[in-house]
Amino acid sequence: MEWETVIGLEVHVSLSTKSKLFSGSSTKFGAQPNTQASIFDCALPGTLPVLNEEALRMAVRFGVAIGAEIGKRSVFDRKNYFYPDLPKGYQVTQLDFPTVGKGSLTVTLADGSEKVIGVTRAHIEENAGKSLHEEFSGMSGIDLNRAGEPLLEIVSEPEITCAEEAVAYLKKLHTIIRYLDISDAIMAQGSMRCDVNVSIRPKGTTELGTRAEIKNINSFRFVEKAIHSEVARQQEILEDGGRIIQETRRYNADKDVTTSMRSKEVANDYRYFPEPDLLPVVIDDEYIAAVRAQLPELPNARKARFIEEYSLSNYDAGVLVSSREMAEYFEIVARSSGDSKLAANWVSQDLLGMLNKNNWDITESPIQAERLATLIARIKDNTISGKIAKTVFETMISDKSAVDAIIEAKGLKQVTDSGEIEKLVLEVIENNPIQVQQYKDGKEQVIGFLVGQCMQLSKGKANPAQVNELLREKMQ
């Protein structure tokens, strides 16, 4: 039988507010355990929540950016369950009236086609603390620094049909969140986490199959692999006449399988009810308009502008806007160097290749945008050839001196002196009589070999166009 896959994603993003969702405690990463836990975060009796307006503004910012309906009246609810790292015994979240309602994301797939994926909702909630089970010899430690940090949970419609689309959706979400500057959204650090709901059904049918939820996947690659592995598992079960159990699963990357975490036999009843310590949050059109007015240029708009303003291809523009930092980097290079085409090539190929090879983020690049622009400017003014520029680029990674100083120090300056080039040309003509004769007999393509010889002799420094011209002249 042929199957089709239905995927829905729940993404938790840690909002980068300075203080927690309902208390004034700092949210700084990496502090000593329990040093960022106020009496409210510890759930001392009598303490009460006060909403951090910045978290609300960030959620609205996200909603506006994805064209979502904004909840003019959002309501916080208590989700009740016991766990030692949940000090109040309930998590404050939004159930029926989230701040962000229906919206959508347009993602670009590998074949260049676009697909619109619906976002059901995004709601604000508080994070739990951390339970530490090691290093306490049989006891558990609790760190409440993270307890009460603001999260935005973004829920997609079950409209994703394969792993590739899921990853494209996540990457787009990641890009927008970074553009909006509402979260670091670093999956490896947990500031962006993903739960994947997967089910399969016979191709062409409309009823949803029983789903499994794979919790807390922390990289794009693992999302892709987890989906592949889970789909295969479900297919095998169904084709053997079995039934899928609705349950929570975990992805084991070492073995590339998903395993059951807990069955929902003992289903948790969270007994949601409206949080009486907080009033409903009411926002008006004016507030939404003000947030909208402060939106930065978003990836799609920026891509269109790049195509228009810098005459880039659809593909190049797409690559360059995929992160806000890269887009900004590119614009500096393009403007300072005065050649947007060369800038696009250098940024999307050489620079990106170098960063990927070293596993660096563009913000960690050893070559700043201004330096790369100078390098490109030197190609344009014929100080160096494109080929020599690659050598200079390699040097620039570890050598922080000015681009011109590197070119000078290594003697890489292009030779444009016609006297010197004439010497090279004459030497090559003398050393390669057979090829010269072939050229004279009308074998035009030999010119390439002869230019190559001149370039080799000059260690790449000769201006190839000049060499070409002079060779032809001397062989006439």
Partner 1 sequence: MINSTVAEISAALAAGDISSVEITQAYLDRIATLNGELNAFITVCEDSALLQAKAADDARANGNDSPLLGIPLAHKDIFCTKDILTTCGSRMLHNFVSPYNATVVERFIDAGTVLLGKTNMDEFAMGSSNETSFFGDVKNPWNTECVPGGSSGGSAAAVAADLCAMATGTDTGGSIRQPAAFCGVTGIKPSYGRVSRWGMIAFASSLDQAGPITKSAEDAALMLNVMSGLDKKDSTSIDRPAEDFTASLNQPLKGLRIGVPKQHFAEGLSMEVEQAVRDALAEYEKLGAVIKEVDLTNSHLSVSAYYVIAPAEASANLSRFDGVRYGYRCEDPVDLEDMYKRTRSEGFGEEVKRRIMVGTYALSAGFYDAYYRKAQKIRRLIADDFDRAFEEVDVIIGPTSPHTAFKLGSKSDPVSMYLEDIYTIAVNLAGLPAASIPVGIANGLPMGMQIIGKYFDEAKILNVAHQFQQHTDWHKQKATAITAASGES
Binding of residue 75 to partner 1 (CB under 8 A): no
Which of 18, 73, 89, 363 is in the footprint of partner 1 by CB under 8 A? 89
406 SS3 class: helix
Residue 276 binds partner 1 (CB under 8 A): yes
Residue 362 touching partner 1 (CB under 8 A): no
According to the binding rule CB under 8 A, does residue 346 interact with partner 1? no
Q: How far is the CB of 271 from partner 1 (least distance, A)?
A: 4
Member of 2, 30, 32, 82 binding partner 1 (CB under 8 A): 82
Quick note: the x/- pattern for partner 1 over 390-419, rule CB under 8 A, is ------------------------------
Shortest distance (Å) from residue 85 CB to partner 1: 9
Start-to-end C-alpha separation, the chain = 73
Nearest to 383 by CA among 410, 347, 351, 422: 410
Of 55 and 351, which CB lies nearer to partner 1 in the complex structure? 55
Residue 137 or 206 with smaller CB distance to partner 1: 137
Among 28, 69, 84, 96, binds partner 1 (CB under 8 A): 84
| DSSP state letter for 213 | E
- Total residues interacting with partner 1, rule: CB under 8 A: 29
> Is 128 an interacting residue with respect to partner 1 (CB under 8 A)?
no
**Does 88 sit near partner 1 (CB under 8 A)?**
yes
The 34-73 contact track toward partner 1, x by CB under 8 A, reads -----x--xxxxxxxxxx----------------------
Closest CA to 16 of 163, 133, 127: 127
Q: Does 90 bind partner 1 (CB under 8 A)?
A: yes
- Interface residue with partner 1 among 237, 278, 283, 288 (CB under 8 A) is 278
Tokens standing for residue 104: 């959508």
The distance of closest approach from Cβ of residue 9 to partner 1 in the complex, given in angstroms and rounded to an integer, is: 25
Q: How far is the CB of 358 from partner 1 (least distance, A)?
A: 44
Residue 181 vs residues 61, 217, 294, 341: alpha-carbon distances, Å = 10, 22, 12, 28
Stretch that binds partner 1, among 275-283, 327-335, 360-368, 404-412 (CB under 8 A): 275-283
The least distance separating partner 1 from the CB of residue 83, rounded to whole angstroms, comes to: 9
CA distances 63 to 56, 180, 268, 289, 320, Å, are 11, 11, 30, 12, 24
Instruction: Give the count of beta carbons closer than 10 Å to the beta carbon of residue 260.
Output: 11
CB of 377 to partner 1, least distance (A): 56
| Residue 277 in contact with partner 1, rule: CB under 8 A | yes
The answer to whether 280 contacts partner 1 (rule: CB under 8 A) is: no
Stretch that binds partner 1, among 242-250, 267-275, 324-332, 374-382 (CB under 8 A): 267-275
Tokens of 17: 């507010």
User: How far, rounded to the nearest angstrom, does the alpha carbon of residue 295 sit from its chain's CA centroid?
Assistant: 19
C-beta closer to partner 1: residue 92 or 119: 92
For the record, the structure tokens of 365 come out as 């690049």
Distances, alpha carbon 237 to alpha carbons 79, 321, 465, in Å: 34, 42, 66
Could you say whether residue 242 binds partner 1 (CB under 8 A)?
A: no
Picking from 282, 297, 298, the residue whose alpha carbon sits closest to that of residue 60 is: 282
Token couple for 225: 């692999």
Q: By CB under 8 A, what part of segment 132-151 binds partner 1?
A: 140, 142
> Whose Cβ is closer to partner 1: residue 67's or residue 84's?
84
- Judged by CB under 8 A, the chain residues 192 through 231 that form the site for partner 1 are none
Structural contact between residues 23 and 148, judged by C-beta atoms closer than 8 angstroms: yes
Please say whether the beta carbons of 201 and 6 come within 8 A: yes
| 3-state SS track over 73-139 | EECCEEEECCCCCCCCCEEEECCCCCCECCEEEEEECCCCCEEEEEEEEEEEEECCCEEECCCCCCC
C-alpha distances (whole Å) from 30 to each of 70, 147, 301 are 33, 14, 36
Calpha distance 124→130 (Å, rounded): 19
Nearest to 320 by CA among 345, 356, 296: 345
Question: Within 14-33, which residues bind partner 1 (CB under 8 A)?
Answer: none
CB of 78 to partner 1, least distance (A): 5
Shortest CB 276 distance to partner 1, Å: 4
DSSP state for residue 250 in the 8-state scheme: E
Residue 87 touching partner 1 (CB under 8 A)? yes
List 271, 335, 400, 459, residue binding partner 1 (CB under 8 A): 271
Residues making contact with partner 1 (CB under 8 A): 39, 42-51, 78, 80, 82, 84, 87-90, 140, 142, 269, 271-273, 276-279
